[in-house]
Amino acid sequence: MLEFNNVTKSFDKRTILDAISFKLEDNRILAILGSSGIGKTTVLRIAAGTIKPDAGEVRSDRRKIGFIFQEPRLLPWRTALANVTLVLKSNKMLTGKEQTERAAAMLKRLGLQGFEHYYPAQLSGGMRQRVAIARAFVIEPDLLLLDEPFTGLDLGLKGSLQQMLLELLAWRPASMIYVTHEPQDAVLLADTAIILAGKPGRVITRLDLDRPREERDHLYIQEQAGKLADLLTAKS
Amino acid sequence: MIKLWKSITIPSYFWMILGTLALTGLWRLMSLIYSPIFVPSPGETLTAVVGLLSSPEAVADIANTFYRVLLALILLTVTGIAIGMLAGFNPWLEQIIKPARDILIAIPPVAMTLLVIFLFGGGTVQTVATAVALGFPLLYGGTVTAMRSVDRDLMEMFGAFKASKAVQFWEGFLPAVIYSVLPIVLLAAGLTVRLIIMAEIIVGMNTGIGNALSIARVHLATEEIFAWLLIMAAAVLIIEGGLLYLVKRNLLKWQAGR
């Protein structure tokens, strides 16, 4: 469980987030929508523990956190395999061999068998993002934080990566916060969506997507995405 | 005609060969104008190069200089990068080092060499130390700048995955800095050759290319001086080119796909 209670954050005396509250239950997906610069990424950074809130409380029993950024953020001087192994290096429970084996298995699961020894510059954009997904899942996370990871990818590639993500979550369930500015993506993936708006950013609305994900047809997705888009436009 | 000219693709090395030929032609012209005591011809110089390279003493001089260059370059690279990284992590240390660095940049190399002789006398250690002191600001400054330009997004990624400080340093900071500093190391290699030979001459070493140049000057053996200058230029090109080849082949494989 991850819970934000009245979390506030300022940078250089400018308040970015104001009294943000939400609760994320185990193995649920929360989508955060909002316009650019509203503080969505700041919420993820606070959830990851890389920055501390100025006020309010973050309660979390999540220990293993996987992060997928907008850009793959791979080390350019390391191969795909080394980039995935990298996040296991601080895990003293695993030997070097076990770390490599686990990373190789994860790359294989993501369809990157044969590309283990390729450098990021030798991979396509979609493949690089798959390496980043492998890096996030190899630690067997109990919380996944996604910061608009499919922005800039073509529709086909985006769809296949989203499908891959859902399959991975079915295989290894985890709670997830998915930051996006695309209402359709939120409806496709999330159980709950919240919208941040205003200056400073506040949670202005919450939408529970109660229909099971596998039963969400095109009509339902369009309808709910339309609702979210209207709310976004009205409050922005 | 213009169309035909535009359709011809001239390889870049053609212009380099043309430049070399023009320089040689100019040299030959000068040798015709001036006495051979002042400007020997390219042919005479080439004969002197062959003579030097077949003499064991000259080969020993080249080896001695090469040894000093290698030693200076290794010391320069290690100290420049290590102290530069420490200063990059600690802004106060950068401020402490700044006056010394500014002085080292401002002092002319010859004056520095004279100062070293005055304080510590002559010898291999002093020659190498002079080159290290003079080249240090280049490597140190490059490292501090590289530290500032380390990709913050990558560092945030390490933080998000709770990577240990050791992993962050060995996998993130160190490679980022080294890959940024590599071009400066290549530049320093050529500079070190020049500084070592200059120090050998001023310190008055009795081995090395600097020493051989001094002897040739005393004997007014101009063709030998020119021959040593050619050998020096070749040494700089070989060291820079060799290092570049090794670096590209072993360290920069990851840039191949770019």
For chain B, the three-class secondary structure string (H helix, E strand, C coil) is: CHHHHHHCCCCHHHHHHHHHHHHHHHHHHHHHHCCCCCCCCHHHHHHHHHHHHCCHHHHHHHHHHHHHHHHHHHHHHHHHHHHHHHHHHCHHHHHHHHHHHHHHHHCCHHHHHHHHHHHHCCCHHHHHHHHHHHHHHHHHHHHHHHHHCCCHHHHHHHHHCCCCHHHHHHHHHHHHHHHHHHHHHHHHHHHHHHHHHHHHHHHCCCCCHHHHHHHHHHCCCHHHHHHHHHHHHHHHHHHHHHHHHHHHHHHCHHHCCC
Interface list for A 73-102 with B (CB within 8 A): 73, 75-78, 86-87, 89-90
Is residue A151 within 8 A of residue A3, CB to CB? The reply is no
The 10s digit of each residue's pLDDT in B137-186 is 999 999 999 998 889 999 999 999 999 999 999 999 999 998 899 889 88
**Cβ-based neighbours of A64, under 8 Å, separated by 6 or more:** A139, A140, A141, A142, A143
Which one-letter DSSP state was computed for residue A122?
G
Residue A87 is nearest to which of B163, B255, B256, comparing CB atoms?
Answer: B163
Strand A202-208 with A65-68, pairing:
unpaired
Structure tokens at A84: 């995935």
Residue spans per domain, chain A: 2-63+142-235, 75-141
Rounded Cα distance between B134 and B105, Å, is: 7
Q: Which chain B residues contact residue A60 at CB under 8 A?
A: none
Which chain B residue shows the shortest CA-CA distance from A66?
B161
Substitution target in A52, A70, A73 with the highest count of B β-carbons within 10 Å is A73
Q: Mean pLDDT lowest for which of A65-74, A89-98, B31-40?
A: A89-98
C-alpha A37: how far from chain center: 17
Q: What is the mean pLDDT of residues A113-118?
A: 95
A115 contact B CB<8A: no
List the structure tokens of B147.
């530290």
**Are A43 and A32 a contacting pair, CB within 8 Å?**
yes
With residue A53 as reference, give the H or E element that holds it: none
Residue B250 has pLDDT above 80, yes or no: no
- Overall CATH class of domain B41-252: mainly alpha
- B152 part of contact set with chain A, CB < 8 Å: no
**Domain parsing of chain B, residue ranges:** 41-252
At A179-224, the pLDDT tens digits run 998 899 999 999 999 999 888 888 888 889 988 888 888 899 999 9
Inter-chain residue contact A90 with B164, CB threshold 8 Å: yes
Which tokens hold the place of B79?
């100290």
Nearest-Cα distance to chain A for B164, in Å, is 6
Q: Is B162 on the interface with A (CB under 8 A)?
A: yes
B149 Cβ under 8 Å from any chain A Cβ: no
Give A55's pLDDT tier (boundaries 50, 70, 90): very high
> In which element (H, E) is residue A26 found?
none
Mark which residues 235-254 of B lie under 8 Å from A by CB: 253-254
In the CATH scheme, what is the code of domain A2-63+142-235?
A: 3.40.50.300
| Nearest residue on chain B to A64, alpha-carbon basis | B161
Contact, B126 vs B116, CB < 8 A? yes
Rg for chain B (alpha carbons), in Å? Answer: 23
CA distance A10 to chain B (A): 19
CA distance B210 to B147: 37
User: Could you report how far apart the first and last alpha carbons of chain B are, in Å?
Assistant: 38
Cβ-based contacts of A50 with chain B (< 8 Å)? 156, 159-160
Task: Assess contact for A90 and B164: CB atoms under 8 A.
Answer: yes
Neighbours of B122 (CB within 10 A): 17
Label residues B72-99 b or e (16+ Cβ within 10 Å = b): bbebbbebbbebbbebbeeeeebeebee
Mean pLDDT of A73-96: 91
Residue A91's pLDDT band (cuts 50, 70, 90): confident
Residue B125: pLDDT band (50, 70, 90) is confident
Which residue among B171, B172, B256 sits closest to A122, beta carbon to beta carbon? B256
B148 shares contact with chain A (CB less than 8 Å)? no
Two tokens, residue B25: 């032609």
pTM for this predicted structure? 0.80
Which tens digits make up the pLDDT trace of A8-36?
999 988 899 999 999 999 999 999 998 88
Partner A contacted by B256 (CB < 8 A): yes
**Separation of alpha carbons B122 and B130, rounded Å:** 11
Q: What pLDDT, on a 0 to 100 scale, did the predictor assign at position B253?
A: 77
Q: A182 to chain B nearest CA, in Å?
A: 23
Nearest CB to B161; choose among A67, A77, A120? A67
Confidence of residue A63 (pLDDT cuts 50, 70, 90): confident
The answer, for B110 touching chain A at a CB cutoff of 8 Å, is no
Write down the ipTM of this complex.
0.88
Q: Say what the alpha-carbon torsion angle B35, B38, B42, B48 is, to the nearest 10 degrees.
A: 110
Which among B189, B195, B247 is positioned nearest to B70, based on CA atoms?
B189
Residue A115 φ/ψ, nearest 5 degrees: -110, 10
CB-based contact A119 B164, cutoff 8 Å: no
